Amino acid sequence: MTDWVDLGVGSVGGALVSEALKLVIEEAKKFKSFKPLSKDLVSTMERLVPLTEKIDSMQNELDLRVGELKELRDTIERARVLVLKFPGVRWYQKTIYARKIEGINEEMVKFCDIDLQLLQYRNQLSLLEKVDGLSRRMDGLSVPVPVFRDLCSVPKLDKVLVGLDWPLMELKKRLLDSAVVNLVVSAPPGCGKTTLVTQLCHDQEIKGKFKHIFFNVVSSTPNFKVIVQNLLQHNGYPPHTFENDSQAAVGLRKLLEELIKGGPVLLVLDDVWSGAEFSLLKEFRITLPGYKILVTSRFEFPSFGSSYHLKPLEDEDARALLIQWASRPYNASPAEYEDLLQKILKRCSGFPIVIEVVGVSLKGQPLHIWKGQVESWSQGKTILDNPHSTVLDRLQPSFSALEPHLKECFLDMGLFLEDQKIRASVIIDMWMELYGKGSTNSSYVYMKYLSDLASQHLLKHIPLGRNEHEDGFYNDLLVTQHDLLRELSIYQSELEAILERKRLNLEIREDKFSDWFLNLKQPIINGSLLSITTDDFFSSKWVEMDCPNVEALVLNLSSPDYALPSFIAGMMKLKVLIIINHGFYPARLRNFSCLSSLPHLNRIRLEKVSITLLNILQLQLGSLKKLSLVMCSFGEVFYDIEEINVSKALPSLQEIDIDYCYDLDELPYWISEVVSLKTLSITNCSKLFKLPEAIGNLSKLEVLRLSSCINLSELPETTERLSNLQFLDISHCLGLRKLPLEIGKLQKLKKMSMSKCWRCELPDSVRNLENLEVKCDEETVLILWEKLKPKMKNLRVHEEETEHNLNLLQMF
């Protein structure tokens, strides 16, 4: 119908019908000569708009036929033609046109009250049928399948948006333009690029246009193969290892070709760094109808696609955002308060992240703190011409306001990669060794430091569950930091000369070391904290260096095969070693023996690496206090180790933490010979089915945590010999059927956590446990503990709502 083309509508769908309705409403409101008839028509059409938008949402979801709304489309077209003729209607024709208006209004009312409701009901039934079909297919699976649907999901919006309405409208207009295929949103750091694009992805019109929307954080160390793997698993495909980018490109094309059959695809690549234009973005640039790429970056990529430049906030919006974060000092006059606001806004230059951080630091503070903050800026450095440095300069006051101990902790965050979700336990372990002299009680102190930094918006907490951390276990709390704030911490560390810095970040791309490093005749690192980051092209060809004072070493790697640098053997003051693999699959570690000569190495943490537990035992680390293994692959466990005296090889080991290690089916026997062990945590190890009988030898063990080991069916009877055991966590051990018969002998056992363990059988001896506190879900309470309450006077049973958060899957 050519009239629809005149309206700017080329085809008919629910959203476009809504747009046509709005145009007709606008035209009908212009003419007063047909009131109240035209007023009634406008009222009916306005009532119809949200209903058509709703039915359009269902059509997109269920891929229904356009013809479903043909009757309504025809009625709106007749209304449009009629309204456009209003200016030329003569007085003797008004009666005829009045009857036509009444007829069209009646048809629309009928459609609202009957036809549309029936169509919605039918669509809902169709949707339920699809969901039921999926449920039946899932019920037929005998083995639980991990869910990876959050790998490439659009993040949720967790803040009130200010000043982004116009940019959102402009960006949406460009993205919906059929001539635009690749679009880059560029701006200095902290301007709200990610927030804007996230809001765009949640826009109803965008969701109606694109059947599939995927969101991926890229950062400065992109890995094309991992991003493609995440896209495949997000869409329900099994894990697959790509040997090179060419194979990954083929997999990406096949995935897109399959997805586009169901509707258009939007791929968001967030935080793409300089240099990726020809190395990464070209890999995603595939010519397919209905496929678009949206990139955010602090850099411009003119050869990749059209650009949208996000500007800092205008004065009015910046003021509104500052007032939202920083409440007015109670003793400030209106004029004084306005003067302070203007000086602060001038300093913040419209950058949302700067306004947020500064505003939070001033919230609830008295007037003299506000004045002191403004005065301190007047005595600071000159604003640099470089926009990047300007933003860092804006953030300087927030760092300067920190207490000395929080400054140190904030600077340490720069050792980890940008956009990285870090387990709180990693940071706390490091701080305990560096600043707390290794005291186990100080973990609560450093958890408070993390909370203090989070309260000032210098980092962000991401809880994975409802653990209250009463026992100092922080694996279920993630910490992340805005990349701008990470740059602030690095900027502060780099104020000193390179070789005099306390913290040093060394980045190695492929096999290329930094120029300053290669220019040194004898590379001697005098700092106490060293972070080394390598990409997946690094061949483990190390340049020798001397690091006599390093106490904490963080290795960020991406390559599947990684040799530890031999110069670690010379780090005689090393206390903490953290190795984190950011690739998709566990990386094989070589040259592990370089750790065996380190006299003060107290904590080792390995994430997503392939290693045998025998390797660790053979190091014979006399000072090792805590061993953490997360998402590691062990291969062959090696149970017979008669030639090694475990108590001498690991005489100081007090804590072992094994988490999400999927191929661990049986705990090595030698762990039961670590007689110094106080805490044993084995969590989320789905294949673990038994513990060694000799576990009763751990006479000093105080905490035994076996949470979410779903195939563990029983605890060894020798568990009754753990005379110092105070806390037993068997929550979410769904396969657990029995506890030791004489568990009542554990007289020091004060707390048990056993949510979702209602299938477990409680032995009669449990009544001998005095002052026992049990935390579990309602079902477990009713089945197991309710009947024991009258017989155990001091029994305290707490019902807790358990919740598993899938944020951790984004770390894989």
pLDDT, tens digit, 9 for 90 and up, residues 517-534 = 777 766 788 899 999 999
Residue 263, sorted as left (phi over 0), alpha (psi -120 to 50) or beta, turns out to be left
What is the 3-state secondary structure of 200-231? HHHCHHHHHHCCEEEEEEEECCCCHHHHHHHH
Q: Who wins on pLDDT, 653 or 812? A: 653
Let me know: does 435 contact 449? Beta carbons within 8 Å. no
When mean pLDDT is compared across 51-65, 162-176, 265-279, 773-787, the lowest value belongs to 51-65
Residue 335 lies in a domain: no
Nearest-angstrom CA–CA distance, 257 and 260: 5
Last residue of a domain, one of 287, 309, 331: 309
Q: Who wins on pLDDT, 726 or 488? A: 726
pLDDT, tens digit, for every residue of 319-367? 999 988 888 888 888 899 899 999 888 878 788 888 887 888 888 888 8
Residue type, 61: E
Question: For 370, what's the count of Cα atoms within 13 Å in the CB-facing half-sphere?
Answer: 27
User: Is the confidence at residue 287, as pLDDT, over 80?
Assistant: yes
Strand 460-463 relative to strand 477-480, pairing? antiparallel
Q: Report, as an integer, the average pLDDT of 220-242.
A: 83
Same domain, 177 and 128: no
Give me 252's structure tokens: 């990406």
When mean pLDDT is compared across 9-23, 340-354, 370-384, the lowest value belongs to 9-23
Last residue of a domain, one of 288, 309, 330: 309
User: Is the confidence at residue 12, as pLDDT, over 90?
Assistant: no
Please give the pLDDT value at position 470.
63
List the one residue out of 468, 460, 555 whose CA is nearest residue 506.
555
Same domain, 198 and 300: yes
When mean pLDDT is compared across 245-259, 386-400, 647-661, the lowest value belongs to 386-400
Let me know: does 597 contact 620? Beta carbons within 8 Å. no
Share of the chain above pLDDT 70, in %: 78
State how many domains the chain has.
3
Average pLDDT in the chain: 80
User: Is the confidence at residue 554, as pLDDT, over 60?
Assistant: yes
pLDDT band of residue 812 (cuts 50, 70, 90) is very low
- Strand, helix or coil at 751? strand
Give me 498's structure tokens: 């390179």
Let me know: does 706 contact 727? Beta carbons within 8 Å. no
pLDDT, tens digit, for every residue of 689-745? 989 999 999 999 999 999 999 999 999 999 999 999 999 999 999 999 989 999 999
Helix, strand, coil proportions of the chain in percent (round to 5)?
45, 15, 40
Q: Report, as an integer, the average pLDDT of 607-628.
A: 87
- As beta bridge partners, residue 797 has 774
User: Is the confidence at residue 13, as pLDDT, over 50?
Assistant: no
Residue 793 lies in a domain: yes
Domain of 65? 2-138
User: Is the confidence at residue 781, as pLDDT, over 50?
Assistant: yes
Q: What's the DSSP call for residue 543?
A: P
Residues 6+ apart with CB under 8 A from 750: 726, 727, 771, 772, 773
Q: How many residues does the chain have?
A: 812
pLDDT band of residue 751 (cuts 50, 70, 90) is very high
Same domain, 694 and 757: yes
Give me 560's structure tokens: 């599947």
Q: Who wins on pLDDT, 220 or 303? A: 303
**Cβ burial, residue 145 (10 Å; 0-12/13-18/19+):** exposed
pLDDT, tens digit, for every residue of 289-322? 999 999 998 777 888 888 898 888 888 999 999 9
Last residue of a domain, one of 291, 309, 327: 309
List the one residue out of 22, 44, 208, 48 whose CA is nearest residue 117.
48
Concatenating the DSSP letter of every residue in 694-711 gives: GGGG-TT--EEE-TT-TT
| Other beta carbons less than 10 A from residue 707's beta carbon | 24
Please give the pLDDT value at position 604.
95
Give me 2's structure tokens: 């050519």
User: Is the confidence at residue 776, as pLDDT, over 70?
Assistant: yes
Output the domain CATH number for residue 778. Answer: 3.80.10.10
Please give the pLDDT value at position 21.
65
User: Is the confidence at residue 382, as pLDDT, over 60?
Assistant: no
Same domain, 178 and 62: no
Same domain, 191 and 71: no
Output the domain CATH number for residue 303. Answer: 3.40.50.300
Please give the pLDDT value at position 628.
95
User: Is the confidence at residue 652, as pLDDT, over 90?
Assistant: yes
Let me know: does 239 contact 229? Beta carbons within 8 Å. yes
Distance set, CA 303 to CA 224, 250, 292 (Å): 19, 23, 16
Nearest-angstrom CA–CA distance, 304 and 276: 10
Residue 708, sorted as left (phi over 0), alpha (psi -120 to 50) or beta, turns out to be left
Concatenating the DSSP letter of every residue in 730-749 gives: -TT-TT--B--TTGGG-TT-
Same domain, 121 and 184: no
Q: Report, as an integer, the average pLDDT of 461-477.
A: 75
List the one residue out of 775, 726, 764 whose CA is nearest residue 746.
726
Please give the pLDDT value at position 623.
93
Tokens 């009857």: give the residue: 99
pLDDT band of residue 809 (cuts 50, 70, 90) is very low
pLDDT, tens digit, for every residue of 22-50? 777 776 766 655 555 566 677 777 766 66
List the one residue out of 438, 397, 390 whose CA is nearest residue 625.
438
Same domain, 194 and 281: yes
Q: Report, as an integer, the average pLDDT of 262-273.
A: 92
User: Is the confidence at residue 375, as pLDDT, over 70?
Assistant: yes
Strand 306-309 relative to strand 477-480, pairing? unpaired
Please give the pLDDT value at position 415.
93
Question: In b/e form, how buried is each residue of 682-704, taking b as 16+ CB within 10 angstroms?
Answer: bbbbbebbebbeebbbbebbbbb
Please give the pLDDT value at position 637.
55
User: Is the confidence at residue 16, as pLDDT, over 70?
Assistant: no
Q: Report, as an integer, the average pLDDT of 192-197.
A: 91
Q: Report, as an integer, the average pLDDT of 53-81.
A: 60
pLDDT band of residue 112 (cuts 50, 70, 90) is low
Please give the pLDDT value at position 121.
44
User: Is the confidence at residue 622, as pLDDT, over 60?
Assistant: yes
List the one residue out of 709, 657, 714 whose CA is nearest residue 688.
709
When mean pLDDT is compared across 30-34, 174-178, 507-511, the lowest value belongs to 30-34
User: Is the confidence at residue 605, as pLDDT, over 90?
Assistant: yes
User: Is the confidence at residue 285, as pLDDT, over 70?
Assistant: yes
Q: Who wins on pLDDT, 780 or 419? A: 780
Same domain, 38 and 175: no
User: Is the confidence at residue 440, as pLDDT, over 90?
Assistant: no
Q: Who wins on pLDDT, 71 or 592? A: 592
Give me 216's structure tokens: 């991926």
Same domain, 659 and 791: yes
Q: Report, as an integer, the average pLDDT of 625-650.
A: 79
Q: What's the DSSP call for residue 433?
A: H
Most confident by average pLDDT, 31-35, 288-292, 775-779, 782-786: 288-292
Please give the pLDDT value at position 7.
34
Q: Report, as an integer, the average pLDDT of 502-506.
A: 91
Give me 255's structure tokens: 């995935």
Give me 672's structure tokens: 């039961």
Please give the pLDDT value at position 718.
94
Give me 355's structure tokens: 């306004």
Residue 357 lies in a domain: no
Let me know: does 280 contact 224? Beta carbons within 8 Å. yes
User: Is the confidence at residue 90, as pLDDT, over 70?
Assistant: no
Give me 452's structure tokens: 């203090």
Same domain, 81 and 218: no
Q: Can you give the pTM of this predicted structure? A: 0.65
Nearest-angstrom CA–CA distance, 676 and 553: 26
Nearest-angstrom CA–CA distance, 445 and 428: 9
Q: Report, as an integer, the average pLDDT of 628-655.
A: 80
Most confident by average pLDDT, 258-272, 372-386, 441-455: 258-272
pLDDT band of residue 2 (cuts 50, 70, 90) is very low
Residue 545 lies in a domain: no
Residue 371 lies in a domain: no
Residue 37 lies in a domain: yes
Same domain, 101 and 212: no
Same domain, 772 and 705: yes
Residue 6 lies in a domain: yes
Please give the pLDDT value at position 387.
47
Residue type, 376: S
Q: Who wins on pLDDT, 382 or 414? A: 414
Q: Report, as an integer, the average pLDDT of 485-513.
A: 85
- Strand, helix or coil at 611? coil
Residue 789 lies in a domain: yes
Please give the pLDDT value at position 145.
37
User: Is the confidence at residue 61, as pLDDT, over 50?
Assistant: no
Let me know: does 387 contact 188? Beta carbons within 8 Å. yes
